[in-house]
Each structure stands twice: as C-alpha cells, then as structure tokens.
C-alpha cells in the first residue's frame, strides 16, 4: 500500500484529516465523520515506513526521544499536511490535518463581513478562538492574504508547523516554524520584534511569556493576530487574565483593554444544503464600553454588550447559529447541540 495512493484517495474524498494507525485501515474525517477507506489494514512496518517517508530528520530524532513529534509534509500535486506522529500500543500512529495549498479569499469562507474590516486595523491584538478543527488557521490565513495583497508592509508568521505557504505579493512575508526556525513561540516573538515587522501572526498564545510578548507587541504599535482554545469572547478575556499571577491581573486588564481590538470565536458545522462545512462566529469588537468592562473586571457583562451591538457588527454565537439554521445551511439538531444556551435557542428556532 502506497502513501501517495492513500493521500490521493483522501484528497478526492475531500477529507480534512487522515489517520494512519498500525492495525487499522486508513481512516479519514469527511465533514466531521470518521470514515475508513476501502484499503487493507496498515501493518506495523508500513506505519513506521510512512513516518520515515514524511518526517524530516530533526522531527524523526524528536520522535525517537519523546515518542511524539509534530511536523509538516508536502504531498506533491495534492496538499500540505500538518502531521503528528506518536506511539500507541507500541506501534506508530499518524494523525494528518490537510492544509489546502491555495489560501482562500475571505469572501469565500461565509464569515461575517466585519471580519474583512479587521484587516484594515493599523495596530492592536485580534484573537481567533475555538476548538481544534474549528477553522481558526484558515480564517487567519485569509486575513493575512488580504493584507498581503493590499499593503506594502512586513508580515512575520510564527507557526507550529507552517500551514498555508504564502507568496510575498505587495508585502514582504516571512514564515518561521517552531523547531526548525525557532525554539519556542516566546523566543520567536521576542526576536521578531527586532526584525522590523508591521504585522505578526502568532500560531497560539499557549503560555504566559508568549501572551505577555504578544500584548506588548500590540501595545508598541504592531498588529498582532493569534489564537486561543476558548469557546467565547468573555472566556477568552478571562483566560488571558488568569494566566497572570494575582498581583499582576489589574495591570494586565488595563493593558488588554488598551490593545485588544476583536475576538472571533468559531464553531464549524456540517452543511445540510450541500457537502462542506460552514462556520458560526461570535464577534466581539472592543468598543469603549467593552474596554471599560475589561478594565473593571466585569467581563461577565460582555455577552449583553454583544447582544445590544449588532448594528456595528457584533454577533453572539447563538445568533450566528440561528442565522445559519434559518438560511437552510445546518440542521436543527446540530444547531441546538452546539449552542451556548440550548433551551433559549430551541425556543428561538421554534418561533
């Protein structure tokens, strides 16, 4: 069984993920549903061979040391993949997330119109949040590409690993990969500030040092885009503040209130009108009222501000889900299951 043959079948099936696990047939995720391919079971030797074909030398050495390794892989003529190699029951397992080679246009992603306006921001912090596989990387890539085509600026991305590969257009665009080009996000971000950037993409604000540097970069006049694994805007603000020791939290509230520009919280749904996925997006824009709530530790009031600020482009997750349902894009069951307030949404959908 040939690796390229498996990846071609997955590509033709429009699979988002490929799982190659010794003792099981190749399995793919198609619109959130795990589906085995009609292929033989992968042997222990084949799984190991697939890892050796895909992993660069440093990633393979890391795998030998830690039994886990993350890297990217380009399948010629198909797509790039974000790969995790790991051991399970003493055998190799591979989880592969497909990254389409062409960066999509923002207009093609069914995102709220206000998101395109965020690409005109001169400075500040923009966060895209959501579960793993919620489309955060695709949204950020589309935003970066929009700026790449419009401005004459310097964009630096710090990623783990590099996903979409950009071509410099109007902008000079550099992409740095964790492990290959920098030892950590914090180190890459610290040195990035000395490289004359205008726009910085940080793959994930996963620790206090990275978060502090990202906020400082936004505070000093850069536009910083990043992600967090949180499910809504108010939780995102609290997660950032909770990273800091108690004695520093008032200070970070003031800094965050001054630098945060927007929080986009995404959830992906399988479409019912045609094959594919569609995002529901909660949008928080940092108006003076929102900045006051952050500064005064009243983030629990943020959902109310979102609900009363639709005219300027804000939108709650449940409102976005309801709109998708009424437009015939998603099922009632999925809408209610992914809702922040299922009982309330159920009544709204029945009205």
Q: Do 26 and 114 reside in the same domain of the chain?
A: no
Q: Do 156 and 293 reside in the same domain of the chain?
A: yes
- Among 51, 76, 99, residue at a domain's last position: 99
Q: Do 220 and 340 reside in the same domain of the chain?
A: yes
Q: Do 158 and 286 reside in the same domain of the chain?
A: yes
For 261-291, how does the pLDDT look when each residue is reduced to its tens digit (9 = 90+)?
999 999 999 999 998 899 999 999 999 999 9
**295 close to 239: Cβ distance less than 8 angstroms:** no
Domain that holds residue 156: 106-350
Residue 332 pLDDT grade (very low, low, confident, very high; cuts 50, 70, 90): very high
The whole-number pLDDT of residue 80 equals 87
Nearest to 316 by CA among 325, 328, 305: 305
Residues 276, 271: Cα–Cα separation, whole Å: 6
Residue 96 has pLDDT above 90, yes or no: yes
Q: Do 114 and 61 reside in the same domain of the chain?
A: no
Longest dimension (CA), the chain: 60
Q: Do 126 and 231 reside in the same domain of the chain?
A: yes
Q: Do 259 and 345 reside in the same domain of the chain?
A: yes
The whole-number pLDDT of residue 186 equals 94
Residues 59, 164: Cα–Cα separation, whole Å: 19
- Among 82, 99, 116, residue at a domain's last position: 99
Mean pLDDT of the chain: 94
List, in order, residues 6 or more apart from 340 with CB less than 8 Å away: 231, 232, 316, 317, 318
Q: Where would I find the H helices in the chain?
A: 3-12, 44-54, 57-66, 114-118, 136-150, 185-192, 208-219, 233-242, 249-259, 288-295, 302-307, 317-326, 332-337, 342-350
Between 119 and 77, residue with greater pLDDT:
119
Residue 99 has pLDDT above 90, yes or no: no
Residues 27, 32: Cα–Cα separation, whole Å: 12
Q: Does the predicted TM-score (pTM) go above 0.85?
A: yes
Helix crossing, 288-295 with 249-259: angle to 10°?
Answer: 170
CATH number of the domain that residue 60 is part of: 3.30.450.90
Residue 100 has pLDDT above 80, yes or no: no
Residue 133 has pLDDT above 90, yes or no: no
Q: Do 87 and 214 reside in the same domain of the chain?
A: no
Residues 86, 70: Cα–Cα separation, whole Å: 9
- Among 39, 68, 99, residue at a domain's last position: 99
For 30-51, how does the pLDDT look when each residue is reduced to its tens digit (9 = 90+)?
988 999 999 999 999 999 999 9
**146 close to 288: Cβ distance less than 8 angstroms:** no
Residue 101 has pLDDT above 80, yes or no: no
**237 close to 252: Cβ distance less than 8 angstroms:** no
Residue reference for tokens 């015939």: 328
The whole-number pLDDT of residue 291 equals 98
Q: Do 18 and 152 reside in the same domain of the chain?
A: no
For 172-205, how does the pLDDT look when each residue is reduced to its tens digit (9 = 90+)?
999 998 888 999 999 999 999 999 999 999 999 9
Q: Do 137 and 50 reside in the same domain of the chain?
A: no
**218 close to 286: Cβ distance less than 8 angstroms:** no
For 221-249, how does the pLDDT look when each residue is reduced to its tens digit (9 = 90+)?
999 999 999 999 999 999 999 999 999 99
Q: Do 8 and 71 reside in the same domain of the chain?
A: yes
The whole-number pLDDT of residue 170 equals 96
Q: Do 30 and 55 reside in the same domain of the chain?
A: yes
CATH number of the domain that residue 114 is part of: 3.40.50.300
Between 72 and 116, residue with greater pLDDT:
116
Structural domains in the chain (count): 2
Residues 66, 326: Cα–Cα separation, whole Å: 48
The whole-number pLDDT of residue 32 equals 85
List, in order, residues 6 or more apart from 101 with CB less than 8 Å away: 79, 80, 164, 165
């Amino acid at each position: 069984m040939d690796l390229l043959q498996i990846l071609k079948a997955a590509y033709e099936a429009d699979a988002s993920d490929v799982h190659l696990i010794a003792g099981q047939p190749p399995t793919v995720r198609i619109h959130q549903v795990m589906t085995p391919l009609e292929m033989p079971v992968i042997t222990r030797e084949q799984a190991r061979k697939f890892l050796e074909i895909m992993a660069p030398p440093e990633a393979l050495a890391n795998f030998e040391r830690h039994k886990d390794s993350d890297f990217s892989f380009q399948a010629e003529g198909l797509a790039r993949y974000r790969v995790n190699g790991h051991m399970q029951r003493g055998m190799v397992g591979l989880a592969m997330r497909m990254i389409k080679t062409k960066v999509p246009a923002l207009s093609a992603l069914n995102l709220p119109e206000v998101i395109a306006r965020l690409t005109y921001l001169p400075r500040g912090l923009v966060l895209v949040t959501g579960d793993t596989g919620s489309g955060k990387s695709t949204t950020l890539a589309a935003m970066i590409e929009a700026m790449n085509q419009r401005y004459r600026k310097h964009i630096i991305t710090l990623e783990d690993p590099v996903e979409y590969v950009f071509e410099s257009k109007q902008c000079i665009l550099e992409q740095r990969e964790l492990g290959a080009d920098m030892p950590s996000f914090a180190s890459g971000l610290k040195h990035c500030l000395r490289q004359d950037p205008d726009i910085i993409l940080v793959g994930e604000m996963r620790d206090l040092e990275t978060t502090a540097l990202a906020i400082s970069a936004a505070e000093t006049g850069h536009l910083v885009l990043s992600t967090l694994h949180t499910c809504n805007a108010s939780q995102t603000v609290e997660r950032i503040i909770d990273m800091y020791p108690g004695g520093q939290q008032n200070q970070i509230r003031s800094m965050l209130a001054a630098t945060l520009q927007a929080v986009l919280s995404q959830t992906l749904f399988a479409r019912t009108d045609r094959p594919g996925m569609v995002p529901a997006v909660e949008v928080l824009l940092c108006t003076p009222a929102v900045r006051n709530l952050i500064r005064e530790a009243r983030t629990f009031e943020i959902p109310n501000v979102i609900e009363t600020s639709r005219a300027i482009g804000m939108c709650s997750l449940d409102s976005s889900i309801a709109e998708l349902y009424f437009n015939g894009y998603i099922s009632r069951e999925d809408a209610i299951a992914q809702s922040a307030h299922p009982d309330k949404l159920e009544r709204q959908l029945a009205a």
